């Protein structure tokens, strides 16, 4: 019994140490991810249910960028965005750091990591400028395949609407469990 209590104590101490090791910026970035997902996912699911996938494209097309803008305003100076190695949205093309991080996420996934837990927090220095950067992987769920899956999974109407809105769309051909992209946030570090 004593041993159990001691083990519990030690493990809860270890957890506290871990929480303390994460900087305030890192914690804030994690909470912005929660807010982003907490607003977007229910809106997407609701629109899919009530209007079907073609109508739901509008949520992703207008609401996702609007949420990113709102969060950038409320959490300034953080700049909030989403990126992908196969981008669809106008602002989704990754820069060099984001590309490297997305590739690292894919490598981690291939070596067995849980895609839901993949994140990267780093202070990136270029010359005498430092930028605090954070990325969190976005895994592909079953629900996503209607608009991001293989040719056969995407209904004809969705294909037509996507082609109209995103003539350069690269964001299809995904399978469940793959990494669709990532949340990507940055702000000046000094
Ligand atoms: C109804 C269609 C639809 C569904 C379902 C959908 N998406 Fe998207 N997704 C889009 C559209 C449209 C965009 C482009 C948004 C924009 O213009 O910024 C997009 C963009 C994204 C982006 C930003 C990167 C990029 O390529 O633009 C990510 C990440 C993403 N989707 C992940 C997901 C995930 C994960 C799911 C499932 C939980 C999902 N999507 C379900 C239509 C959809």
Domains and CATH numbers, the chain: 24-87+95-188 (3.30.450)
Ligand 1: distance of its center to the CA of 144 in Å? 7
Please tell me the residue having the least CA distance from ligand 1 atom 10.
60
Question: Which one has a higher pLDDT value, 61 or 6?
Answer: 61
Statement: residue 24 has pLDDT above 80: yes
Q: Are 175 and 67 a contacting pair, CB within 8 Å?
A: no
Q: Are 63 and 40 a contacting pair, CB within 8 Å?
A: yes
**Ligand 1, closest atom to CA 144?**
37
Please tell me the residue having the least CA distance from ligand 1 atom 34.
144
Which residue among 61, 63, 89, 153 is best mutated to probe the pocket of ligand 1, counting the most ligand atoms within 8 A of its Cβ? 89
Q: What is the pLDDT at residue 17?
A: 46
Q: Look at residues 107, 93, 96, 102 and name the one whose alpha carbon lies nearest to residue 120.
A: 102
Report how far residue 176's alpha carbon sits from residue 178's, in angstroms, rounded to the nearest whole number. Answer: 6
Which residues does ligand 1 sit against, CB inside 6 Å? 44, 53, 56-57, 60-61, 64-65, 82, 84, 87-89, 92, 138, 140-141, 143-144, 146-148, 171, 180-181
Ligand 1: distance of its center to the CA of 145 in Å? 10
| Residue 76 token pair | 């300034």
Average pLDDT score over residue span 169-182: 98
Ligand 1: distance of its center to the CA of 60 in Å? 6
Specify the 3-state DSSP secondary structure of 136. Answer: strand
Distance from chain centroid for Cα 164: 25
Average pLDDT score over residue span 10-21: 54
C-alpha dihedral sign at 145, 111, 170, 80? positive
pLDDT interval class at 11 (50, 70, 90) = low
> pLDDT, tens digit, for every residue of 122-168?
999 988 899 999 999 999 999 999 999 999 999 999 999 999 999 99
Statement: residue 16 has pLDDT above 50: no
Q: Look at residues 36, 25, 47 and name the one whose alpha carbon lies nearest to residue 134.
A: 25
Q: Look at residues 113, 123, 112, 118 and name the one whose alpha carbon lies nearest to residue 135.
A: 118
Ligand 1: distance of its center to the CA of 171 in Å? 8
**Ligand 1, closest atom to CA 82?**
23
Query: Which residues, listed in sequence order, are joined to residue 125 by a DSSP beta bridge?
Result: 130
Q: What is the mean pLDDT of the chain?
A: 92
Q: What is the pLDDT at residue 126?
A: 84
Average pLDDT score over residue span 37-59: 95
Quote the pTM value. Answer: 0.90
Report how far residue 159's alpha carbon sits from residue 161's, in angstroms, rounded to the nearest whole number. Answer: 6
> pLDDT, tens digit, for every residue of 85-115?
999 999 999 999 999 999 999 999 999 999 9
Q: Which residues neighbour 172 within 8 Å (Cβ) at sequence distance 6 or greater?
A: 86, 147, 148, 149, 150, 151, 154, 162
Question: Which one has a higher pLDDT value, 84 or 4?
Answer: 84
**Burial class of residue 61 (count of CB atoms within 10 Å of its CB; 0-12, 13-18, 19+):** middle
């Amino acid at each position: 019994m004593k041993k159990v209590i001691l083990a519990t104590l030690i493990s809860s101490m270890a957890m506290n140490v871990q929480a303390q090791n994460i900087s305030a910026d890192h914690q804030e970035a994690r909470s912005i991810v929660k807010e982003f997902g907490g607003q977007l996912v229910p809106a997407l699911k609701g629109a899919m249910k009530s209007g079907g996938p073609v109508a739901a494209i509008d949520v992703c097309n207008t609401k996702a960028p609007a949420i990113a803008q709102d969060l950038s305003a409320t959490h300034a100076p953080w700049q909030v965005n989403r990126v992908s190695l196969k981008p669809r949205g106008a602002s989704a093309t990754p820069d060099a750091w984001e590309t490297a991080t997305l590739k690292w996420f894919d490598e981690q996934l291939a070596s067995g990591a849980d895609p839901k837990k993949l994140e990267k927090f780093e202070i990136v220095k270029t010359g005498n400028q430092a930028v605090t950067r954070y990325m969190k992987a976005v895994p592909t769920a079953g629900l996503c395949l209607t608009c991001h899956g293989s040719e056969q999974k995407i209904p004809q109407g969705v294909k037509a609407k996507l082609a109209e809105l995103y003539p350069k769309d690269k964001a299809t051909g995904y399978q469940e469990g793959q990494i669709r992209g990532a949340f990507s946030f940055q702000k000046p570090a000094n």
